[in-house]
Structure 1
Protein backbone atom coordinates (compact mmCIF):
# COMPACT_ATOMS: atom_id res chain seq x y z
CA UNK A 1 0.00 0.00 0.00
CA UNK A 2 1.37 3.40 -1.01
CA UNK A 3 0.65 6.57 0.93
CA UNK A 4 1.45 10.19 0.27
CA UNK A 5 3.51 12.24 2.71
CA UNK A 6 2.17 15.67 1.80
CA UNK A 7 1.39 17.93 4.75
CA UNK A 8 -1.81 19.93 4.40
CA UNK A 9 -1.16 23.57 3.42
CA UNK A 10 2.57 22.83 3.27
CA UNK A 11 3.09 25.37 0.50
CA UNK A 12 1.26 28.13 2.35
CA UNK A 13 3.07 27.42 5.62
CA UNK A 14 6.50 27.46 3.98
CA UNK A 15 5.72 30.76 2.27
CA UNK A 16 4.48 32.30 5.53
CA UNK A 17 7.75 31.31 7.21
CA UNK A 18 9.68 33.11 4.48
CA UNK A 19 7.45 36.19 4.73
CA UNK A 20 7.91 36.17 8.51
CA UNK A 21 11.70 36.23 8.08
CA UNK A 22 11.36 39.07 5.55
CA UNK A 23 9.15 41.13 7.89
CA UNK A 24 11.60 40.54 10.75
CA UNK A 25 14.47 41.79 8.55
CA UNK A 26 12.44 44.90 7.62
CA UNK A 27 11.74 45.63 11.29
CA UNK A 28 15.44 45.38 12.13
CA UNK A 29 16.29 47.64 9.17
CA UNK A 30 13.70 50.16 10.36
CA UNK A 31 15.00 50.13 13.94
CA UNK A 32 18.57 50.64 12.72
CA UNK A 33 17.33 53.52 10.53
CA UNK A 34 18.60 51.77 7.41
CA UNK A 35 15.31 52.35 5.59
CA UNK A 36 15.39 56.01 6.61
CA UNK A 37 18.90 56.40 5.20
CA UNK A 38 17.84 54.67 2.01
CA UNK A 39 14.74 56.79 1.44
CA UNK A 40 16.33 60.10 2.51
CA UNK A 41 19.38 59.55 0.32
CA UNK A 42 17.33 58.86 -2.82
CA UNK A 43 16.34 62.22 -4.25
CA UNK A 44 14.73 60.56 -7.28
CA UNK A 45 12.24 58.74 -4.99
CA UNK A 46 12.61 55.72 -7.27
CA UNK A 47 13.33 53.53 -4.23
CA UNK A 48 9.83 54.32 -2.93
CA UNK A 49 8.33 53.28 -6.29
CA UNK A 50 10.33 50.04 -6.19
CA UNK A 51 9.19 49.35 -2.62
CA UNK A 52 5.52 50.00 -3.42
CA UNK A 53 5.70 47.86 -6.56
CA UNK A 54 7.38 45.10 -4.55
CA UNK A 55 4.55 45.13 -1.98
CA UNK A 56 1.84 45.04 -4.70
CA UNK A 57 3.52 42.15 -6.53
CA UNK A 58 3.77 40.24 -3.24
CA UNK A 59 -0.04 40.24 -3.10
CA UNK A 60 0.03 38.47 -6.48
CA UNK A 61 2.50 35.95 -5.06
CA UNK A 62 0.20 35.42 -2.07
CA UNK A 63 -2.81 34.75 -4.32
CA UNK A 64 -0.79 32.19 -6.30
CA UNK A 65 0.42 30.53 -3.09
CA UNK A 66 -3.15 30.20 -1.78
CA UNK A 67 -4.40 28.83 -5.12
CA UNK A 68 -1.60 26.28 -5.53
CA UNK A 69 -1.89 25.26 -1.87
CA UNK A 70 -5.60 24.55 -2.30
CA UNK A 71 -5.00 22.59 -5.51
CA UNK A 72 -2.24 20.54 -3.89
CA UNK A 73 -4.42 19.74 -0.88
CA UNK A 74 -7.26 18.44 -3.08
CA UNK A 75 -4.89 16.48 -5.32
CA UNK A 76 -3.14 14.88 -2.36
CA UNK A 77 -6.52 13.93 -0.85
CA UNK A 78 -7.53 12.20 -4.09
CA UNK A 79 -4.14 10.52 -4.30
CA UNK A 80 -4.45 9.29 -0.72
CA UNK A 81 -7.92 7.87 -1.35
CA UNK A 82 -6.76 5.99 -4.45
CA UNK A 83 -3.60 4.70 -2.79
CA UNK A 84 -5.38 3.31 0.29
CA UNK A 85 -8.12 1.36 -1.52
CA UNK A 86 -7.57 -1.72 -3.67
CA UNK A 87 -10.83 -1.55 -5.64
CA UNK A 88 -10.99 2.08 -6.73
CA UNK A 89 -14.38 3.46 -7.69
CA UNK A 90 -14.22 6.53 -9.90
CA UNK A 91 -17.38 8.23 -11.17
CA UNK A 92 -16.76 11.08 -13.58
CA UNK A 93 -19.67 13.25 -14.62
CA UNK A 94 -19.92 16.69 -16.20
CA UNK A 95 -20.69 18.40 -12.92
CA UNK A 96 -19.13 16.15 -10.28
CA UNK A 97 -16.27 13.71 -9.79
CA UNK A 98 -16.58 11.04 -7.10
CA UNK A 99 -13.63 8.99 -5.92
CA UNK A 100 -14.22 6.05 -3.60
CA UNK A 101 -17.60 7.45 -2.61
CA UNK A 102 -16.37 10.99 -1.86
CA UNK A 103 -17.25 14.01 -3.98
CA UNK A 104 -14.09 15.86 -4.95
CA UNK A 105 -14.25 19.69 -4.93
CA UNK A 106 -13.90 21.37 -8.29
CA UNK A 107 -10.21 21.75 -9.02
CA UNK A 108 -7.51 21.14 -11.61
CA UNK A 109 -7.38 17.42 -10.80
CA UNK A 110 -11.14 16.98 -11.28
CA UNK A 111 -10.94 18.91 -14.54
CA UNK A 112 -8.08 16.70 -15.71
CA UNK A 113 -9.94 13.50 -14.78
CA UNK A 114 -13.06 14.79 -16.53
CA UNK A 115 -11.09 15.63 -19.67
CA UNK A 116 -9.29 12.28 -19.55
CA UNK A 117 -12.55 10.35 -19.25
CA UNK A 118 -14.07 12.36 -22.09
CA UNK A 119 -11.13 11.82 -24.41
CA UNK A 120 -11.04 8.09 -23.72
CA UNK A 121 -14.78 7.72 -24.35
CA UNK A 122 -14.56 9.37 -27.80
CA UNK A 123 -11.24 7.85 -28.80
CA UNK A 124 -12.58 6.18 -31.89
CA UNK A 125 -9.41 6.57 -33.98
CA UNK A 126 -7.43 4.22 -31.78
CA UNK A 127 -5.11 6.91 -30.51
CA UNK A 128 -2.63 5.68 -27.93
CA UNK A 129 -3.72 6.42 -24.39
CA UNK A 130 -0.21 7.72 -23.71
CA UNK A 131 -0.67 10.37 -26.40
CA UNK A 132 -4.04 11.34 -24.97
CA UNK A 133 -2.54 11.67 -21.50
CA UNK A 134 0.46 13.63 -22.82
CA UNK A 135 -1.73 16.18 -24.60
CA UNK A 136 -3.93 16.67 -21.54
CA UNK A 137 -0.93 17.01 -19.23
CA UNK A 138 0.56 19.62 -21.55
CA UNK A 139 -2.64 21.65 -21.35
CA UNK A 140 -2.75 21.14 -17.58
CA UNK A 141 0.83 22.36 -17.23
CA UNK A 142 -0.12 25.63 -18.95
CA UNK A 143 -3.09 26.09 -16.59
CA UNK A 144 -0.97 25.47 -13.51
CA UNK A 145 1.76 27.90 -14.53
CA UNK A 146 -0.52 30.45 -16.19
CA UNK A 147 -1.02 32.44 -13.01
CA UNK A 148 2.68 33.01 -12.40
CA UNK A 149 3.91 33.35 -15.99
CA UNK A 150 4.48 37.07 -15.43
CA UNK A 151 6.44 36.51 -12.24
CA UNK A 152 9.87 36.53 -13.83
CA UNK A 153 8.89 39.68 -15.73
CA UNK A 154 8.04 41.34 -12.41
CA UNK A 155 11.37 40.30 -10.89
CA UNK A 156 13.24 41.56 -13.94
CA UNK A 157 11.26 44.82 -13.80
CA UNK A 158 12.53 45.49 -10.27
CA UNK A 159 16.13 45.07 -11.42
CA UNK A 160 15.60 47.32 -14.42
CA UNK A 161 14.04 50.01 -12.24
CA UNK A 162 17.14 49.85 -10.06
CA UNK A 163 19.39 50.20 -13.11
CA UNK A 164 17.31 53.13 -14.29
CA UNK A 165 18.00 54.73 -10.91
CA UNK A 166 21.71 54.20 -11.58
CA UNK A 167 21.41 56.24 -14.76
CA UNK A 168 19.42 58.96 -12.99
CA UNK A 169 22.05 59.14 -10.25
CA UNK A 170 24.90 59.55 -12.74
CA UNK A 171 22.93 62.20 -14.62
CA UNK A 172 22.49 64.15 -11.38
CA UNK A 173 26.15 63.71 -10.54
CA UNK A 174 27.42 64.84 -13.93
CA UNK A 175 24.87 67.65 -14.05
CA UNK A 176 26.53 69.26 -11.06
CA UNK A 177 29.90 69.09 -12.88
CA UNK A 178 28.44 70.63 -16.06
CA UNK A 179 27.11 73.63 -14.13
CA UNK A 180 30.48 74.33 -12.54
CA UNK A 181 31.78 77.87 -13.27
CA UNK A 182 34.15 78.80 -10.47
CA UNK A 183 36.90 76.76 -8.88
CA UNK A 184 37.09 78.23 -5.40
CA UNK A 185 36.93 76.13 -2.22
CA UNK A 186 33.22 76.76 -1.54
CA UNK A 187 32.23 75.83 -5.09
CA UNK A 188 34.28 72.63 -4.95
CA UNK A 189 32.65 71.69 -1.66
CA UNK A 190 29.21 72.20 -3.19
CA UNK A 191 30.30 70.18 -6.20
CA UNK A 192 31.43 67.26 -4.06
CA UNK A 193 28.21 67.44 -2.06
CA UNK A 194 26.07 67.33 -5.22
CA UNK A 195 28.16 64.54 -6.72
CA UNK A 196 27.82 62.46 -3.55
CA UNK A 197 24.05 63.03 -3.68
CA UNK A 198 23.92 61.72 -7.24
CA UNK A 199 26.08 58.75 -6.26
CA UNK A 200 23.73 57.96 -3.36
CA UNK A 201 20.78 57.95 -5.78
CA UNK A 202 22.63 55.57 -8.10
CA UNK A 203 23.70 53.18 -5.34
CA UNK A 204 20.50 53.19 -3.28
CA UNK A 205 18.13 52.66 -6.23
CA UNK A 206 20.36 49.89 -7.61
CA UNK A 207 20.44 48.23 -4.19
CA UNK A 208 16.65 48.50 -3.85
CA UNK A 209 16.02 47.05 -7.30
CA UNK A 210 18.46 44.17 -6.86
CA UNK A 211 17.11 43.17 -3.44
CA UNK A 212 13.46 43.39 -4.58
CA UNK A 213 14.19 41.46 -7.78
CA UNK A 214 16.13 38.79 -5.88
CA UNK A 215 13.36 38.26 -3.31
CA UNK A 216 10.66 38.09 -5.99
CA UNK A 217 12.78 35.70 -8.05
CA UNK A 218 13.16 33.37 -5.07
CA UNK A 219 9.41 33.44 -4.43
CA UNK A 220 8.47 32.70 -8.03
CA UNK A 221 11.07 29.93 -8.18
CA UNK A 222 9.39 28.56 -5.05
CA UNK A 223 6.04 28.64 -6.86
CA UNK A 224 7.54 26.94 -9.92
CA UNK A 225 8.90 24.09 -7.80
CA UNK A 226 5.53 23.46 -6.19
CA UNK A 227 3.81 23.72 -9.57
CA UNK A 228 6.13 20.93 -10.75
CA UNK A 229 5.19 18.85 -7.70
CA UNK A 230 1.47 19.42 -8.33
CA UNK A 231 1.75 18.42 -11.98
CA UNK A 232 3.81 15.34 -11.08
CA UNK A 233 1.26 14.18 -8.50
CA UNK A 234 -1.67 14.65 -10.89
CA UNK A 235 0.26 12.73 -13.55
CA UNK A 236 1.04 9.91 -11.11
CA UNK A 237 -2.50 9.46 -9.79
CA UNK A 238 -4.00 9.61 -13.28
CA UNK A 239 -1.45 7.17 -14.80
CA UNK A 240 -1.24 4.70 -11.92
CA UNK A 241 -4.80 4.76 -10.54
CA UNK A 242 -7.35 6.65 -12.62
CA UNK A 243 -6.39 5.58 -16.15
CA UNK A 244 -6.70 1.80 -15.56
CA UNK A 245 -10.11 2.32 -13.91
CA UNK A 246 -11.38 4.46 -16.79
CA UNK A 247 -10.03 2.03 -19.42
CA UNK A 248 -11.70 -0.93 -17.71
CA UNK A 249 -14.96 0.99 -17.54
CA UNK A 250 -14.79 1.82 -21.26
CA UNK A 251 -13.94 -1.79 -22.18
CA UNK A 252 -16.82 -3.15 -20.10
CA UNK A 253 -19.21 -0.76 -21.84
Structure 2
Protein backbone atom coordinates (compact mmCIF):
# COMPACT_ATOMS: atom_id res chain seq x y z
CA UNK A 1 0.00 0.00 0.00
CA UNK A 2 2.92 2.35 0.69
CA UNK A 3 4.22 1.80 -2.85
CA UNK A 4 0.77 2.46 -4.32
CA UNK A 5 0.48 5.70 -2.34
CA UNK A 6 3.96 6.61 -3.49
CA UNK A 7 2.93 6.09 -7.10
CA UNK A 8 0.05 8.56 -6.78
CA UNK A 9 1.21 11.15 -4.26
CA UNK A 10 4.94 11.63 -4.94
CA UNK A 11 5.55 15.10 -6.43
CA UNK A 12 7.33 14.98 -9.78
CA UNK A 13 7.00 11.23 -9.95
CA UNK A 14 8.97 9.45 -12.66
CA UNK A 15 6.09 7.38 -14.07
CA UNK A 16 7.49 4.08 -12.81
CA UNK A 17 4.14 3.12 -11.31
CA UNK A 18 1.98 4.21 -14.23
CA UNK A 19 1.31 0.56 -15.08
CA UNK A 20 -0.27 0.08 -11.64
CA UNK A 21 -2.52 3.07 -12.28
CA UNK A 22 -3.51 1.62 -15.66
CA UNK A 23 -4.43 -1.66 -13.95
CA UNK A 24 -6.49 0.24 -11.37
CA UNK A 25 -8.32 2.14 -14.13
CA UNK A 26 -9.04 -1.10 -15.99
CA UNK A 27 -10.34 -2.75 -12.82
CA UNK A 28 -12.52 0.29 -12.12
CA UNK A 29 -14.14 -0.08 -15.54
CA UNK A 30 -14.61 -3.82 -14.99
CA UNK A 31 -16.16 -3.16 -11.58
CA UNK A 32 -18.58 -0.66 -13.09
CA UNK A 33 -19.55 -3.23 -15.71
CA UNK A 34 -20.15 -5.83 -12.98
CA UNK A 35 -22.30 -3.42 -10.96
CA UNK A 36 -24.42 -2.57 -14.02
CA UNK A 37 -24.76 -6.29 -14.86
CA UNK A 38 -25.81 -7.06 -11.30
CA UNK A 39 -28.31 -4.20 -11.36
CA UNK A 40 -29.93 -5.70 -14.47
CA UNK A 41 -29.91 -9.16 -12.90
CA UNK A 42 -27.42 -10.62 -15.38
CA UNK A 43 -24.86 -11.71 -12.79
CA UNK A 44 -27.55 -13.20 -10.57
CA UNK A 45 -28.88 -15.24 -13.49
CA UNK A 46 -25.36 -16.24 -14.52
CA UNK A 47 -24.54 -17.85 -11.19
CA UNK A 48 -28.01 -19.20 -10.34
CA UNK A 49 -28.69 -20.85 -13.71
CA UNK A 50 -25.37 -22.70 -13.80
CA UNK A 51 -25.96 -25.98 -12.01
CA UNK A 52 -22.37 -27.09 -12.57
CA UNK A 53 -21.00 -24.11 -10.55
CA UNK A 54 -18.17 -23.76 -13.06
CA UNK A 55 -18.92 -20.04 -13.45
CA UNK A 56 -18.27 -19.57 -9.72
CA UNK A 57 -14.91 -21.32 -10.12
CA UNK A 58 -14.09 -19.08 -13.09
CA UNK A 59 -14.98 -15.97 -11.07
CA UNK A 60 -12.83 -17.07 -8.10
CA UNK A 61 -9.86 -17.87 -10.33
CA UNK A 62 -10.23 -14.57 -12.16
CA UNK A 63 -10.12 -12.64 -8.88
CA UNK A 64 -7.07 -14.64 -7.77
CA UNK A 65 -5.15 -14.09 -11.02
CA UNK A 66 -6.07 -10.39 -10.97
CA UNK A 67 -4.59 -10.06 -7.49
CA UNK A 68 -1.46 -11.81 -8.73
CA UNK A 69 -1.28 -9.40 -11.67
CA UNK A 70 -1.42 -6.44 -9.28
CA UNK A 71 1.35 -7.97 -7.18
CA UNK A 72 3.74 -8.46 -10.08
CA UNK A 73 2.91 -4.99 -11.40
CA UNK A 74 3.96 -3.46 -8.10
CA UNK A 75 7.15 -5.55 -8.06
CA UNK A 76 8.02 -4.74 -11.68
CA UNK A 77 7.25 -1.06 -11.14
CA UNK A 78 9.73 -1.03 -8.27
CA UNK A 79 12.34 -2.59 -10.58
CA UNK A 80 11.49 0.00 -13.24
CA UNK A 81 12.09 2.80 -10.75
CA UNK A 82 15.48 1.29 -9.91
CA UNK A 83 16.32 1.10 -13.63
CA UNK A 84 15.37 4.75 -14.11
CA UNK A 85 17.46 5.63 -11.07
CA UNK A 86 20.51 3.88 -12.52
CA UNK A 87 19.97 5.52 -15.89
CA UNK A 88 19.91 9.00 -14.36
CA UNK A 89 22.83 8.27 -12.03
CA UNK A 90 25.09 6.90 -14.76
CA UNK A 91 24.21 9.76 -17.11
CA UNK A 92 25.28 12.34 -14.53
CA UNK A 93 28.54 10.63 -13.51
CA UNK A 94 31.52 9.36 -15.48
CA UNK A 95 32.86 7.18 -12.68
CA UNK A 96 32.10 3.51 -12.29
CA UNK A 97 29.75 3.07 -9.30
CA UNK A 98 30.41 0.61 -6.54
CA UNK A 99 28.48 -2.68 -6.93
CA UNK A 100 25.19 -2.32 -5.00
CA UNK A 101 24.59 -4.78 -2.21
CA UNK A 102 21.31 -6.67 -2.11
CA UNK A 103 18.38 -4.92 -3.78
CA UNK A 104 16.20 -6.26 -6.55
CA UNK A 105 16.86 -7.76 -9.94
CA UNK A 106 18.15 -4.57 -11.54
CA UNK A 107 20.57 -3.85 -8.69
CA UNK A 108 21.79 -7.44 -8.82
CA UNK A 109 22.27 -7.16 -12.58
CA UNK A 110 24.36 -3.98 -12.23
CA UNK A 111 26.45 -5.52 -9.45
CA UNK A 112 27.05 -8.72 -11.43
CA UNK A 113 28.07 -6.77 -14.53
CA UNK A 114 30.54 -4.60 -12.61
CA UNK A 115 32.09 -7.62 -10.88
CA UNK A 116 32.24 -9.56 -14.14
CA UNK A 117 34.01 -6.66 -15.83
CA UNK A 118 36.61 -6.48 -13.10
CA UNK A 119 37.36 -10.17 -13.48
CA UNK A 120 37.23 -10.45 -17.28
CA UNK A 121 37.90 -8.20 -20.28
CA UNK A 122 34.99 -9.66 -22.31
CA UNK A 123 32.54 -6.97 -21.24
CA UNK A 124 30.15 -7.27 -24.18
CA UNK A 125 29.74 -11.02 -23.84
CA UNK A 126 29.12 -10.74 -20.10
CA UNK A 127 26.64 -7.89 -20.59
CA UNK A 128 24.71 -9.79 -23.26
CA UNK A 129 24.37 -12.92 -21.13
CA UNK A 130 23.38 -10.94 -18.05
CA UNK A 131 20.80 -8.91 -19.98
CA UNK A 132 19.29 -12.12 -21.39
CA UNK A 133 19.10 -13.57 -17.89
CA UNK A 134 17.50 -10.39 -16.54
CA UNK A 135 14.92 -10.30 -19.35
CA UNK A 136 14.05 -13.96 -18.72
CA UNK A 137 13.53 -13.20 -15.02
CA UNK A 138 11.08 -10.42 -15.91
CA UNK A 139 9.15 -12.43 -18.51
CA UNK A 140 8.86 -15.45 -16.21
CA UNK A 141 6.61 -13.44 -13.91
CA UNK A 142 4.15 -12.48 -16.63
CA UNK A 143 3.86 -15.97 -18.13
CA UNK A 144 1.40 -16.82 -15.37
CA UNK A 145 -1.08 -14.56 -17.16
CA UNK A 146 -0.95 -16.69 -20.32
CA UNK A 147 -1.59 -19.80 -18.24
CA UNK A 148 -4.41 -18.13 -16.31
CA UNK A 149 -6.23 -16.87 -19.42
CA UNK A 150 -5.87 -20.28 -21.08
CA UNK A 151 -7.20 -21.96 -17.93
CA UNK A 152 -10.34 -19.80 -17.95
CA UNK A 153 -10.89 -20.57 -21.64
CA UNK A 154 -10.55 -24.30 -20.94
CA UNK A 155 -12.95 -24.12 -18.01
CA UNK A 156 -15.48 -22.46 -20.31
CA UNK A 157 -15.04 -25.31 -22.79
CA UNK A 158 -15.40 -27.82 -19.96
CA UNK A 159 -18.70 -26.18 -19.00
CA UNK A 160 -19.83 -26.52 -22.63
CA UNK A 161 -19.19 -30.26 -22.52
CA UNK A 162 -20.89 -30.62 -19.13
CA UNK A 163 -23.96 -28.80 -20.48
CA UNK A 164 -24.14 -31.14 -23.49
CA UNK A 165 -23.88 -34.16 -21.19
CA UNK A 166 -26.73 -32.81 -19.07
CA UNK A 167 -28.87 -32.34 -22.19
CA UNK A 168 -28.20 -35.85 -23.45
CA UNK A 169 -28.78 -37.32 -19.99
CA UNK A 170 -32.21 -35.68 -19.82
CA UNK A 171 -33.17 -37.29 -23.11
CA UNK A 172 -32.05 -40.70 -21.92
CA UNK A 173 -34.21 -40.49 -18.80
CA UNK A 174 -37.45 -40.45 -20.79
CA UNK A 175 -39.07 -43.86 -20.24
CA UNK A 176 -42.36 -42.77 -21.76
CA UNK A 177 -43.77 -39.76 -23.53
CA UNK A 178 -46.43 -38.52 -21.13
CA UNK A 179 -46.79 -34.80 -20.60
CA UNK A 180 -45.14 -34.65 -17.18
CA UNK A 181 -42.07 -36.66 -18.25
CA UNK A 182 -41.68 -34.58 -21.40
CA UNK A 183 -41.98 -31.37 -19.39
CA UNK A 184 -39.23 -32.49 -16.97
CA UNK A 185 -37.03 -33.58 -19.86
CA UNK A 186 -37.41 -30.21 -21.57
CA UNK A 187 -36.59 -28.39 -18.34
CA UNK A 188 -33.44 -30.47 -17.92
CA UNK A 189 -32.48 -29.84 -21.54
CA UNK A 190 -32.93 -26.08 -21.07
CA UNK A 191 -30.86 -26.23 -17.88
CA UNK A 192 -28.10 -28.13 -19.71
CA UNK A 193 -28.16 -25.62 -22.55
CA UNK A 194 -27.92 -22.78 -20.01
CA UNK A 195 -24.88 -24.41 -18.41
CA UNK A 196 -23.26 -24.84 -21.82
CA UNK A 197 -23.79 -21.24 -22.92
CA UNK A 198 -23.21 -19.46 -19.62
CA UNK A 199 -19.94 -21.22 -18.80
CA UNK A 200 -18.67 -20.56 -22.32
CA UNK A 201 -19.50 -16.86 -21.99
CA UNK A 202 -17.95 -16.66 -18.51
CA UNK A 203 -14.76 -18.38 -19.66
CA UNK A 204 -14.37 -16.16 -22.71
CA UNK A 205 -15.04 -12.90 -20.88
CA UNK A 206 -12.81 -13.87 -17.95
CA UNK A 207 -9.96 -14.94 -20.24
CA UNK A 208 -10.16 -11.78 -22.36
CA UNK A 209 -10.22 -9.45 -19.35
CA UNK A 210 -7.36 -11.31 -17.67
CA UNK A 211 -5.31 -11.11 -20.85
CA UNK A 212 -5.89 -7.34 -20.91
CA UNK A 213 -4.55 -7.05 -17.36
CA UNK A 214 -1.41 -9.04 -18.09
CA UNK A 215 -0.86 -7.07 -21.30
CA UNK A 216 -0.22 -4.09 -19.03
CA UNK A 217 2.44 -6.15 -17.26
CA UNK A 218 3.95 -7.25 -20.59
CA UNK A 219 4.22 -3.62 -21.70
CA UNK A 220 5.94 -2.75 -18.42
CA UNK A 221 8.44 -5.58 -18.93
CA UNK A 222 9.21 -4.18 -22.38
CA UNK A 223 9.79 -0.67 -20.99
CA UNK A 224 11.92 -2.08 -18.19
CA UNK A 225 14.06 -4.14 -20.56
CA UNK A 226 14.54 -1.19 -22.92
CA UNK A 227 15.60 1.10 -20.06
CA UNK A 228 18.08 -1.49 -18.78
CA UNK A 229 19.60 -1.98 -22.23
CA UNK A 230 19.76 1.80 -22.69
CA UNK A 231 21.76 2.64 -19.55
CA UNK A 232 23.95 -0.45 -20.06
CA UNK A 233 24.97 0.36 -23.62
CA UNK A 234 25.03 4.16 -23.37
CA UNK A 235 26.58 4.68 -19.93
CA UNK A 236 27.62 1.63 -17.92
CA UNK A 237 29.70 -0.25 -20.51
CA UNK A 238 31.55 2.90 -21.69
CA UNK A 239 32.32 3.79 -18.04
CA UNK A 240 33.68 0.29 -17.43
CA UNK A 241 35.79 0.42 -20.61
CA UNK A 242 37.19 3.82 -19.64
CA UNK A 243 38.06 2.55 -16.18
CA UNK A 244 39.87 -0.42 -17.75
CA UNK A 245 41.95 1.89 -19.96
CA UNK A 246 42.83 4.13 -17.02
CA UNK A 247 44.20 1.23 -15.00
Normalising to structure 1: TM-score of the pair? 0.87
How many corresponding residue pairs?
A: 235
CA distance in 1, matches of 2:89, 2:81: 12
Matched, 1:197 2:205: no
Distance in 2 (alpha carbons) for counterparts of 1:138 and 1:176:
57
Stretch moving more, 141-150 or 55-64? 141-150
Please point out which of 92, 116, 123 is paired with 2:98: 92
Alignment root-mean-square deviation, CA: 1.8
Question: In the alignment, which of 206, 210, 214 is matched to residue 216 of structure 1?
Answer: 210
Residues of 1 paired with 2:57 and 2:88: CA distance? 46
CA contact (8 A) 2:153 2:204 kept: yes
1:19 aligns with 2:23: no
Post-superposition offset of 1:235: 0.7
* Structure 1 residue 250: Cα displacement: 2.5
Aligned to 2:4: none
Query: Which runs of no fewer than 5 residues in structure 1 stay unpaired?
Result: 97-105
Report the alpha carbon displacement of residue 109 of structure 1 after superposing the two structures with TM: 2.3
Q: How far apart are residue 94 of structure 1 and its match?
A: 5.5
Question: CA distance change for structure 1 residues 20 and 222 in 2, over 3 Å: closer, same or farther?
Answer: same
For the residues of structure 2 that align with 1:92 and 1:142, how far apart are their CA atoms? 25
Could you give the per-residue CA deviations for residues 148-190 of structure 1, whole angstroms, max 9, x where no partner exists? Answer: 2222111101111111111111111110000111113332222
Matches of 2:110 and 2:241, distance apart in 1: 12
The two structures have a TM-score, normalised by structure 2, of: 0.89
Q: Are 1:148 and 2:142 counterparts?
A: yes
| Structure 2 runs not aligned, ≥5 long | 1-12
Contact 1:92/1:113 (<8 A) preserved:
no
